[in-house]
Structure 1
Amino acid sequence: MQINPQKPWLKNYLAGVPHEIDLGSHSSIVELLEESLRKYPDRIAIVSMGHAMSYCQLDMLSQDFAAYLQTLGLDAGARIAIMFPNVPQYFIAMLGTLRAGFVVVNVNPLYTARELEHQLRDSGASVLVILENFAHVYQEIADQLLVKKVIVSSVGEVLGPKGVIINLIARHIKKLVPQWRFPCIKFNQALKIGLGHGFTKQKLGLDDIAFLQYTGGTTGVSKGAVLLHRNILANIIQIECWLEPALQHRHQQQLVFLCALPMTHIFALTACGLLGMRKGAKLILVANPRDISGFIKLLMKYPDINIFPGVNTLFHALIHRPEFKAVQLPNLLVTIGGGMAVLKKTADLWQKMMGVPIAQGYGLSETSPVVCVNTPFVKEFTGSIGMPVPSTDVLILDDEGVEVPFGSPGEICIKGPQVMAGYWNRLEETEQFFTPEGYFKSGDIGIMSADGYVHIVDRKKDMIVVAGFKVFPNEIEEVISMMPGVSECAVIGLPHRKLGEIVRAYIVKDNPELTEAQVIQYCKEQMSSYKRPRKITFIDEMPKSNVGKILRRHLRD
């Protein structure tokens, strides 16, 4: 394989951005974050539903949570599954888990029981920490005793006196908490036990596992990307260095990060939550960004927002609401677009309304996630995903693993300290996704210009991206094929103006009475909303290869 040693993007780095990062000053993510907890004790760390929590309070509560976990007699490296939307309990549990020396398994709170069961089984999680709004999902699989302990929290549990009112509204007025019943311990009770027990500080190293971040990769089965403390630490520092030119004049002022994307998603976790804590920022949490009206009211309440990470669907939803015209964010420094492709029409409208362009970036769960990003001083939306961040090498390779010329499409392959250690308990699959030289094969097709800017062209596999979430046809096909009346099923992605893509299912039925409505209802019971097919097409016969493999490309054509 030919390797271009020049790294042409380096000559375009902004002044002050290093070509390489240094991890020598910290031994773990915990050490990095505890530095902020000590440095900014009186600063507001988190604002949630109008309630503020200081860095000092976050420090103490996360220690209490860590101490509680240490009372459970868990094995070294035990996995703790956390299933929260953006509420303070997520940060308490996540930070507490890391401080206790255990591994965080982020769980999408929108998961169905089937999806949750797979992740708990695959990760071997010992503990599940879940919001009561989603406890009914676990209820469906509770009798399987998948975990040793379940910790259940309510929305308002750590929000002081105001939390009592919030819980009352959530449970009895808005009816947001379906009935559930299984043995558990309440979140505040766990904190109280931890406080009485006392926290024992753990010795952690760069090669200890920090997160299992579940992703479909490109083969369909949801897999846990093993992210070491080294990987996440590197990506925090890489993004910090990249943004420093835009932030250098604000060191004495507290930055304000908008946390609208779910923290269980790797983009939000690293580029918003962890980076924000590293900078001693105030994190404005949005528990339900799909409530666009409520979201806009929140934006009007916090005009001092500096950093706004988002995805195309979120930007699109905001700018097409008439009331968004009244939103003023005069201190907005950077709008970062990730998770899915940002559409030019959306980006241009955003810049026209907010006065700040969207700096598009690119990454994967397997890369902690940021690989490439545009500079924070980009003047307008370019369609490019920018340049590789410091200490990162990107090659565009053909199917034989040979580097292609500038301007030619090939698979984006990545090497850097943010690249995962591998897939959890999947050695063979891990080996398939790395070149002999140690580059991670992303499965995405891209083009690199002569000056080092990268553009995404297409996806190598059949993956579908709905509103920034990866959807894998194999999983959907397997679920639908289990439905009575379905003989065969194939799934493809269709372009969609708002969501980027939607799922379309082609079905050969063996029950002539089967209807589209029945299939949609079945999918609603089995899958998260973003995975469900929006279009159902019944056909008489699937196009297949001579070995019987269904040819999705024929369906797309």
Structure 2
Amino acid sequence: MSENAAASIVRGEALEGLDDYHSVMDIFHRSVKRYDEKVAFSCMGKSLTYAELDRLSGDFAAWLQHETNLEPGDRVAIQLPNLLQFPVAVFGAIRAGMVVVNTNPLYTEREMTHQFKDSGAKAILILANMADKLERVLDKTDIEHVVITEIGDLHDFPKRPLINFVVKYVKKMVPRYSIPKAVGLRQVLKQGASLEHREVERELDDIAALQYTGGTTGLAKGTMLTHRNLVANMLQAKQIIGGGLSEGSEVVVAPLPVYHIYTFTVNCLFMLEGGNHSLLITNPRDLDTFIKELSKTRFTGFVGLNTLFNALCNRDDFKALDFSHLHLTISGGMALTKAAAKRWEEVTGCPIAEGYGLTETSPIVSFNPVEAIQLGTIGRPVAGTELKLCNPDGGDPEPGEPGELCVRGPQVMKGYWNRDDETAKVIDADGFFHTGDIAVIQDDGYVRIVDRKKDMILVSGFNVYPNEIEDVVAAHPKVVESCAVGVPDDTSGEVIKLFVVAKDSSLTSDELRAWCKQELAGYKVPKLVEFRDELPKTNVGKVLRRQLRDEGSTETGTGTDG
């Protein structure tokens, strides 16, 4: 145990400015007015100023209000990668009083069906590349209005049709689909421009977004994030990070998906509030194109995670970039290793400030102040936030002893959408959200995570819950039972290993992976498969997941077809 591990409760400083806002739209309106000619977002060589973002989002809002039957409070799903269309749609929907449902573009039909049905979404903006999936699930949902966009839709002529032609006909990235009632985004914006947009007043306690997160039941739950949650977290980020930023002057690289709460809050709210420029990277896995884009930009900030820092620092073309303007690097989404942090600083000259958060906390809970970074910790609680440690029985651990990290503050979610039972399991009577992560609070107020949620697997920053995988595998006719665990991996942090008891010896690992690919997003598909005669269990029949995880972590190889 560390010598300076002594506390079981710590509080952030007072939060300033929350009473100055009524909703997320207050942030938006102030920024687009103050920084109108500044660049708000850029992507694939096209920039969008704050004034243009104001106009286009207003056009989208007007279309929703006049050309659909949607009312304030209805849910609008947005299923896009990092494109300029994302902030236009998000702020347009919120301006019309709607609730945004951010949806992962990697989702399978099964995952899409669940999220759309569970949220009750009545409208969707979706990329043409995945519209074929929507066609096959549409009649299982409540969606009445479909808007389809192509990658180049917000680019100027002649680049726009060229991008869309190459994507569709050369790279063949757009499967055939037929959704007769669908309308194109460009048509929507053209119609909206001729209509009068009515501003809709929202209150801080109204829901602004449903962010879906995994659950131990295997079904994703909708986290209700209110305007208060998001405004508070923006202000919390500003208090602990913003002091070293120049308003209207920063260029911040955003390679992580904007539909994820991490980038959603940091780039769509925090950076926007300060009039800064977010460079959206559509496909960060394409490192050649990514680094070429960076070479054209005098970026001053970078928002990433451990696996991305590692991948970039292994590239000679990345090392050759000009880092003379980079003064802020933020890490979140997964644990930052000391090796990756040191390597990044050696290559770029800029230290990494690690934070910690969850979807349920909008997400930022704690952060390492740039001027006082402690590698190996998740920093101190942000303003207005109280952290405490709890024992399994609800009591307080002894000073210096680890316990479950619990969070109370204005960024803690309202609850899970239509799941009061699940909400009651994680938010106690005193308003503390129980994270499931085991931590130690040092006597200097910094926090260290010493263990993770018991079962969750973290693949490149994405939460994967074993029961969801096991539910899919259980439906295979040749499987008796299975157990999914995470094992260490240098590239993605962890990969999924599946232990399987088969009822038919002809079952192979390739057959199982192919089965999973039909039902699960790619990052949830097991990379390693090991067949066993039986799985270890407790005396009441519960599979000993931790034992299998420990065994999997000490073994090497690519799995067996036993």
- TM above 0.5: yes
CA-to-partner distance for each residue in 1:176-207, whole Å, 9 max, x for gaps? 21222212111111112222222111111101
Match of 1:105 among 101, 106, 113: 101
Distance, in Å, in 2 between the alignment partners of 1:30 and 1:549 is 49
One-letter amino acid matched to 1:287: T
User: What is residue 291 of structure 2 aligned with on the other side?
Assistant: 296
Distance, in Å, in 1 between the alignment partners of 2:312 and 2:520 is 26
SS of equivalent residue, structure 1 residue 394: strand
Q: Indicate whether 1:20 and 2:15 are aligned.
A: yes
User: What is residue 556 of structure 1 aligned with on the other side?
Assistant: 549
How much has 1:512 moved relative to structure 2?
1.6
Distance, in Å, in 2 between the alignment partners of 1:540 and 1:8 is 48
Query: Using a 3 Å threshold, how does the CA distance of structure 1 residues 145 and 450 change in structure 2: closer, same or farther?
Result: closer
User: What is residue 194 of structure 1 aligned with on the other side?
Assistant: 192
- Alignment RMSD: 1.7
Match of 1:164 among 136, 161, 178: 161
SS of equivalent residue, structure 1 residue 438: coil
Q: Indicate whether 1:265 and 2:257 are aligned.
A: no
Q: Indicate whether 1:57 and 2:55 are aligned.
A: no
Match of 2:364 among 338, 362, 370: 370
Q: Indicate whether 1:148 and 2:144 are aligned.
A: yes
Matches for 1:94-493 after TM superposition, within 5 Å: 94-161=90-157, 162-183=159-180, 184-247=182-245, 250-251=246-247, 253-302=248-297, 304-378=298-372, 382-493=375-486
Distance, in Å, in 1 between the alignment partners of 2:391 and 2:139 is 49
Distance, in Å, in 1 between the alignment partners of 2:377 and 2:321 is 28
Identity %: 42
Query: Using a 3 Å threshold, how does the CA distance of structure 1 residues 268 and 66 change in structure 2: closer, same or farther?
Result: same
How much has 1:217 moved relative to structure 2?
4.4
Task: Report if aligned partners of 2:7, 2:441 keep a CA contact under 8 Å in 1.
Answer: no
Task: Report if aligned partners of 2:253, 2:302 keep a CA contact under 8 Å in 1.
Answer: yes
CA-to-partner distance for each residue in 1:91-137, whole Å, 9 max, x for gaps? 11100010000000000111111111110011110111101111122
Task: Report if aligned partners of 2:113, 2:141 keep a CA contact under 8 Å in 1.
Answer: no
CA-to-partner distance for each residue in 1:458-477, whole Å, 9 max, x for gaps? 12320111111000001000
Query: Using a 3 Å threshold, how does the CA distance of structure 1 residues 376 and 194 change in structure 2: closer, same or farther?
Result: same
Match of 2:43 among 48, 73, 79: 48
One-letter amino acid matched to 1:300: S
One-letter amino acid matched to 2:195: H
How much has 1:368 moved relative to structure 2?
0.2
Match of 2:495 among 480, 498, 502: 502
Distance, in Å, in 2 between the alignment partners of 1:66 and 1:460 is 40
SS of equivalent residue, structure 2 residue 497: strand
Query: Using a 3 Å threshold, how does the CA distance of structure 1 residues 6 and 364 change in structure 2: closer, same or farther?
Result: closer
Distance, in Å, in 2 between the alignment partners of 1:57 and 1:328 is 30
One-letter amino acid matched to 1:428: D
User: What is residue 14 of structure 1 aligned with on the other side?
Assistant: none
Which deviates more from structure 2 when the two are superposed, residues 71-80 or residues 538-547?
A: 538-547
How much has 1:301 moved relative to structure 2?
0.9
Distance, in Å, in 2 between the alignment partners of 1:488 and 1:348 is 43
CA-to-partner distance for each residue in 1:50-85, whole Å, 9 max, x for gaps? 111111111011001011111212133100010001
Task: Report if aligned partners of 2:356, 2:367 keep a CA contact under 8 Å in 1.
Answer: yes
Distance, in Å, in 2 between the alignment partners of 1:5 and 1:475 is 36
Distance, in Å, in 1 between the alignment partners of 2:335 and 2:446 is 15
Distance, in Å, in 1 between the alignment partners of 2:461 and 2:421 is 28
How much has 1:173 moved relative to structure 2?
1.5
How much has 1:377 moved relative to structure 2?
2.0
Task: Report if aligned partners of 1:9, 1:453 keep a CA contact under 8 Å in 2.
Answer: no
Distance, in Å, in 2 between the alignment partners of 1:254 and 1:452 is 32
Query: Using a 3 Å threshold, how does the CA distance of structure 1 residues 144 and 244 change in structure 2: closer, same or farther?
Result: closer
Query: Using a 3 Å threshold, how does the CA distance of structure 1 residues 475 and 300 change in structure 2: closer, same or farther?
Result: same
How much has 1:218 moved relative to structure 2?
4.7
Distance, in Å, in 1 between the alignment partners of 2:212 and 2:417 is 9
One-letter amino acid matched to 1:331: H
How much has 1:242 moved relative to structure 2?
0.9
CA-to-partner distance for each residue in 1:376-427, whole Å, 9 max, x for gaps? 2246x61110000000000011112222244311101000000000000000
SS of equivalent residue, structure 2 residue 212: strand
SS of equivalent residue, structure 2 residue 511: helix
Task: Report if aligned partners of 1:225, 1:365 keep a CA contact under 8 Å in 2.
Answer: yes
Task: Report if aligned partners of 1:411, 1:460 keep a CA contact under 8 Å in 2.
Answer: no
How much has 1:9 moved relative to structure 2?
6.3
Match of 1:33 among 3, 23, 28: 28
Distance, in Å, in 2 between the alignment partners of 1:389 and 1:122 is 32
SS of equivalent residue, structure 2 residue 208: strand
CA-to-partner distance for each residue in 1:279-336, whole Å, 9 max, x for gaps? 111111101111111111111111x212211011111110111211111221112101
How much has 1:5 moved relative to structure 2?
11
User: What is residue 520 of structure 1 aligned with on the other side?
Assistant: 513
CA-to-partner distance for each residue in 1:207-228, whole Å, 9 max, x for gaps? 1100000001455321011000
User: What is residue 558 of structure 2 aligned with on the other side?
Assistant: none
Calculate the TM-score normalised by the size of structure 2: 0.94
SS of equivalent residue, structure 1 residue 533: coil
- Answer 1 or 2: higher relative contact order, Cα 8 Å, separation at least 6: 2
SS of equivalent residue, structure 2 residue 371: coil
CA-to-partner distance for each residue in 1:337-367, whole Å, 9 max, x for gaps? 1000011111111000101111111000000
SS of equivalent residue, structure 2 residue 527: strand
SS of equivalent residue, structure 2 residue 387: strand
Q: Structure 2: which 5+ residue stretches go unaligned?
A: 1-5, 551-562
Distance, in Å, in 2 between the alignment partners of 1:319 and 1:334 is 16
Task: Report if aligned partners of 1:218, 1:461 keep a CA contact under 8 Å in 2.
Answer: no
User: What is residue 531 of structure 1 aligned with on the other side?
Assistant: 524
CA-to-partner distance for each residue in 1:241-277, whole Å, 9 max, x for gaps? 1123312xx34x5211211110000000001222111
Query: Using a 3 Å threshold, how does the CA distance of structure 1 residues 201 and 114 change in structure 2: closer, same or farther?
Result: same
SS of equivalent residue, structure 2 residue 40: strand
Task: Report if aligned partners of 1:255, 1:282 keep a CA contact under 8 Å in 2.
Answer: yes
One-letter amino acid matched to 1:108: N
Which deviates more from structure 2 when the two are superposed, residues 449-458 or residues 73-82?
A: 73-82
User: What is residue 554 of structure 2 aligned with on the other side?
Assistant: none
Distance, in Å, in 2 between the alignment partners of 1:320 and 1:525 is 33
SS of equivalent residue, structure 1 residue 36: helix
One-letter amino acid matched to 2:431: G
User: What is residue 13 of structure 1 aligned with on the other side?
Assistant: none
How much has 1:240 moved relative to structure 2?
0.8
